Amino acid sequence: MQCGGFRTSYAGDERIFDTALPIVGVTALIGVLAVVPQFATTYWLDVLNRIGIAVIGALGLNILVGYTGQISIGHAAFLAVGAYSTAILEINAGLPFYLAIPLGALITSGFGLIFGIPSLRLRGLYLAIATLAAHFITTYGIVHWESMTKGVLGMMVPPATVFGLPLDSDKRVFYLIFALAIPAVFFAKNLFRTRVGRAFIAIRDRDVAAGVMGVSLYHYKLLAFVISSFYAGVAGGLMAHHSRILFPDSFTLLVAIDYLAMIIIGGLGSILGAIFGAIFMTLLPEVLKLGATSLTGVYPNAFGLIASTRDIVFGLAVILFLMYEPQGLARIWLRVRNYWKLWPYAY
Amino acid sequence: MGDQLVFALQLVITGVAVGGVYSLMALGFVLIFKASSVVNFGPGELVLFGAYVSWATILPMKLPLYVALPLTFAVAILLGLVIERGVLRPLIGEPIISVIMVTFGVASVIRGFLNMTWGSDTRPFPVLFSPEPIHLGPVPVSPVHLWSFVGVLGLLAIFSVFFKFSLTGMAMRATADNQQVAQSLGVSVKRVFALSWCIATVVSTLGGIILGSVRGGVDFSLADLGLKVFPVVILGGLDSVAGAIIGGVLIGVLENLSGGYLDPVLGGGVKEVAPFVVLVIILMIRPYGFFGKVEIERV
């Protein structure tokens, strides 16, 4: 039983798991995820799949916003570029999905690099506004480049095939999504134990000071955009395979705001936070739907109010978290965990 | 005069009229930013709110205009107070991302509330002006555009006088200039913050009423127009009232001209994206806009 933290080396301090229990927990979670599709209903599988995609996307945004401090309202544009380039690579170039998703993510990275250039001159607010503009320019491009993207008509994506087995059901796509989501989490977690991750954090805390200490702002700011948009590209590629039809309308500004809300509610600058936020934001409409279903007996119009209730609950959640728990769900989790970890010997 | 020229003039005049509304929205935005360094990322929702409340008081409640409009403004002032007191004051001194997100949150709550109360169908807006076009020389102009522009000009004149000569206006300028000094001279900075939000909601409401009557109806797409505030304030400078006014008209003209001339070539929608292209260009060459204050950074 643990009664406090006692570390004698830097290596000990940097360890991800300091006791055996979390390792068991994570392994068990992965084990559960491996068998869940055999039992879950299609509805819950669909929800889980969307959570998996959102986790990847939110991790990418948290790397950029939460860890590097570069505010981006353009995440929906990254997702869109990832989704469309993956789909175009598969349909027009006939690439298999295991090449198309990484290539699509690379294209998104290149795109992120261009997005990131303003960050060299602009900070905070101005960068946020620049990314907002970039979002509108990108979606304009997607809607109007009809020869490639089919514009507002929507673009059908064929299912990915593994050894002749089409991944055309939620159950099969589930494995594809989580086979990418789990390594994405571990990569992000480890990134911030390296030189690169530390540089990101230094830039977030005070970029001029980081520059004075020898962190190349030019290099690392752009790198943050590249890594973040790579994640978004993967998430976008998975979206293409999950919904199998792409509309420009799936990538509105509201999607970018949703992703920002995920990392705010989950916890800025926290890997766990990105995961919690993704779960929270994906479950929110589902919970409201369940609530509305149970209310239809008493109040027949309940279903019509889901959209507006979602907006209100979403806005209130963001406001209340910012006011009372700015470090989000991850912080709450940490508090609860630390309480029980030292229980009953905490002082 | 050739048809070409009439076409161009017509685009410019419509642009100026719409740009006047952008100026109003940008004025609200700049006032809040100047006073409290808060960036409102939901200017569109304030406009939407104003448009819906004025619609509700004029049509379903059948109040006469001289009751309906003051009532609308009273509600708008109340909204401004609630936002400032309830949401932004507790967040003073928080990082910029929190402030940006909280305004998104407020916008979302307003949108949800409007949707819940009045639904998302398009509502016909009361016709306040005759649809018969007035001829300014050879160019036909609709009275709505003309009156909205005159209204905007009048309002801006009132605001200039207010800032220049009234005690409150001077207190607001002082706060914008240097909060601590203003406070030490007896200016209530809190009141200035609240006041700037109230002015912003009132001007946005006016913008909503004007846009509603220009379009002949209100629906949720009005909120998208609100985002045009960003090109305007970046062009003019985030902390410049004059910049907001000039920028609004410039962006209005620019989007109309680009829409009129480039839409046939590029296939539609240019009007929506052109202001943002301008925004990026300005950010790259002159990030503090044409009238904004250049910040020098020290560690």
Each residue's pLDDT tens digit, A312-344: 999 999 999 999 998 999 999 988 988 887 777
Question: Minimal CA–CA distance to B223: which of B50, B17, B33?
Answer: B50
Structure-block tokens of residue A96: 């298999």
**Among partner residues B106, B230, B268, which is closest to A315 by beta-carbon distance?**
B106
- CA A145 to chain B, closest CA, distance in angstroms equals 10
Q: What is the pLDDT of residue B299?
A: 46
Per-residue tens of pLDDT for chain B, all 299 residues: 577 888 888 888 888 888 888 888 888 888 888 877 788 888 889 999 998 998 888 888 777 878 888 999 999 999 999 999 989 888 887 888 888 899 999 999 999 999 888 877 778 877 766 667 777 777 777 777 787 788 878 887 888 888 889 898 888 888 877 888 888 998 888 888 899 899 899 988 988 888 888 777 788 888 888 888 899 988 888 878 888 888 999 999 998 898 888 877 777 778 888 999 988 888 888 777 777 777 655 54
Residues in chain B with CB shorter than 8 Å from the CB of A303 are none
Residues in chain A with CB shorter than 8 Å from the CB of B49 are none
Q: How confident is the model at residue A1 (pLDDT cuts 50, 70, 90)?
A: low
Question: Minimal CA–CA distance to B139: which of B243, B18, B259, B15?
Answer: B15
The CATH topology of domain B3-126+134-285 is ABC transporter involved in vitamin B12 uptake, BtuC (1.10.3470)
Q: What is the pLDDT of residue B263?
A: 78
Q: A63 near A224, Cβ under 8 Å?
A: yes
Q: A240 near A108, Cβ under 8 Å?
A: no
Measured in degrees and rounded to the nearest 5, phi and psi for residue A246 equal -115, 130
Of A122, A270, A311, A320, which to mutate for an interface test with B (greatest number of B Cβ within 10 Å)? A311
Question: Minimal CA–CA distance to A108: which of A165, A159, A184, A57?
Answer: A57
Domains of chain A (ranges; CATH) run: 41-342 (1.10.3470)
Three-state SS for B151?
A: helix
Compute the C-alpha angle A99/A113/A127, nearest 5°.
140
Look at B283 and A124 and tell me if their CB atoms are within 8 Å.
no
Three-state SS for B217?
A: strand
Q: How confident is the model at residue A187 (pLDDT cuts 50, 70, 90)?
A: very high
Q: A95 near A223, Cβ under 8 Å?
A: no
Name the β-bridge partners of A155. A246
Q: A108 near A85, Cβ under 8 Å?
A: yes
The ranges assigned to domains in chain B are 3-126+134-285
Q: How confident is the model at residue A4 (pLDDT cuts 50, 70, 90)?
A: low
**CA B21 – CA B43 distance, rounded (Å):** 12
User: Within a 10 A sphere around the Cβ of A99, how many other Cβ atoms?
Assistant: 13
Q: Is the dihedral of CA A94, A97, A99, A103 positive or negative?
A: positive
Q: What is the pLDDT of residue B296?
A: 59
**CA B100 – CA A66 distance, rounded (Å):** 14
Name the β-bridge partners of A162. A165
Name the β-bridge partners of A245. A156
Q: Which amino acid, one-letter code, is at A200? A: F
Question: CB of B276 within 8 Å of any CB in chain A?
Answer: yes
Q: Which one-letter DSSP state was computed for residue B138? A: T
Three-state SS for A194?
A: coil
**Touching A: B residues 149-208, CB under 8 Å:** none
Residue of B nearest to A72 (CA): B97
Q: Which amino acid, one-letter code, is at A43? A: Y
**Among partner residues A122, A137, A315, which is closest to B109 by beta-carbon distance?**
A315
Residues in chain A with CB shorter than 8 Å from the CB of B299 are 206, 208-209, 212
**CA A280 – CA A293 distance, rounded (Å):** 20
Burial letters B79-116, b for 16+ CB under 10 A, else e: bbeebbeebbeebeeebbbbbbbbbbbbbbbbbbbbbb
Dihedral Cα B80, B85, B90, B91, nearest 10 deg: 10
Cis bond upstream, residue A344 (ω within 30): yes
The pLDDT tens digits of the residues spanning A132-185 come to 999 999 998 898 887 888 877 888 888 887 877 887 788 888 999 999 999 999
Of B266, B276, B294, which to mutate for an interface test with A (greatest number of A Cβ within 10 Å)? B276
Of B108, B225, B238, B265, which to mutate for an interface test with A (greatest number of A Cβ within 10 Å)? B108
Look at B287 and A126 and tell me if their CB atoms are within 8 Å.
yes
User: Within a 10 A sphere around the Cβ of B55, how many other Cβ atoms?
Assistant: 23
In terms of Cβ atoms closer than 10 Å to its own Cβ (0-12, 13-18, 19+), residue B217 is: middle
Phi-psi sector, B269: left (phi>0), alpha (psi -120 to 50), beta: left
**Among partner residues A137, A309, A315, which is closest to B273 by beta-carbon distance?**
A137
Chain mean position to CA A301: 33
Question: CB of B100 within 8 Å of any CB in chain A?
Answer: yes
Beta-carbon contacts of A13 under 8 Å, excluding residues fewer than 6 positions away, are: A7
What pTM, to 2 d.p., does this model score? 0.91
Q: At what angle do helices B43-58 and B3-36 cross, to 10 degrees?
A: 110
Residues in chain B with CB shorter than 8 Å from the CB of A307 are 112, 115, 120
